[in-house]
Amino acid sequence: MAYILNIETSTKNCSVSLAHKGITLLCKEISDQGYSHAEKLHLFIQELCEETKVSLSELNAVAVSMGPGSYTGLRIGVSAAKGFCFAMDIPLIAIDTLTLLAHQLLNVEGGLIIPMIDARRMEVYSAVFNSNKEMIRAVEAEILTENSFANFTETLHFIGDSNEKAKTVLNNERYIFHDTIIYPSANQMSALSFEKYLAKDFVDVAYFEPYYLKDFMMTTKK
């Protein structure tokens, strides 16, 4: 049957979808209330099952966005995904978050796609993809400057929640900012997770950890 539950919590967008053979049946998400993942995630999953009439026992796999992104958001999403996989003895699929974000930009015939996720100050998590959504530069945590991505001569398509601050330093006429694509969504996970399901590209439920890219930093009041 190939029912797959997709979970995306790496940014402010708390997003889940239920897919059948790579096609999204229903997607629930919210991004306008800050980080509401702990309150909304399991509620959305329950609503998906009720509205699609598909029970959790019918799931064949669970897919989760693996990062990079918010430390807390990733922990919540991965913990939930692992819990379902352990309880129902089904495989876990991990999707790179920036790959997921890149797939939201459609009908790009040329140039490169640069999805970026906001980090602190002028720092972002980014990667570079060609127009076929193939990663040609690995994920990095970097501080944006006017020289960022200057080694690429192609037209660059920027997407993600870092566009506004990126515009303050990236001013080249070759740079195109797609401001309507802000957060990764579980809606786009459906085809990617089904492809991995068919290839049996699973991760170890017991040992899988999110891709934080850098250490979690906690601050305390003076």
**What are the backbone dihedrals phi and psi of residue 73, each rounded to the nearest 5 degrees, phi first?**
-60, -45
Confidence of residue 115 (pLDDT cuts 50, 70, 90): very high
Q: What is the pLDDT of residue 200?
A: 97
Q: How far apart are CA 1 and CA 60, in angstroms?
A: 8
* pLDDT of 216 over the 90 cut: no
Nearest residue to 144 (alpha-carbon basis) of 169, 173, 177, 112: 169
Q: How far apart are CA 156 and CA 170, in angstroms?
A: 11
**What are the backbone dihedrals phi and psi of residue 192, each rounded to the nearest 5 degrees, phi first?**
-65, -45
What is the rounded average pLDDT of the residues 132-144?
94
Q: How far apart are CA 6 and CA 13, in angstroms?
A: 13
What is the rounded average pLDDT of the residues 145-159?
95
Give the predicted TM-score (pTM) of the model: 0.92
Confidence of residue 76 (pLDDT cuts 50, 70, 90): very high
Confidence of residue 146 (pLDDT cuts 50, 70, 90): very high
Nearest residue to 19 (alpha-carbon basis) of 48, 57, 50: 48
Confidence of residue 218 (pLDDT cuts 50, 70, 90): very low
For all residues of the chain together, what is the average pLDDT?
Answer: 92
Q: How far apart are CA 71 and CA 57, in angstroms?
A: 29
Q: How far apart are CA 4 and CA 63, in angstroms?
A: 7
Q: What is the pLDDT of residue 107?
A: 83
What is the rounded average pLDDT of the residues 75-93?
96
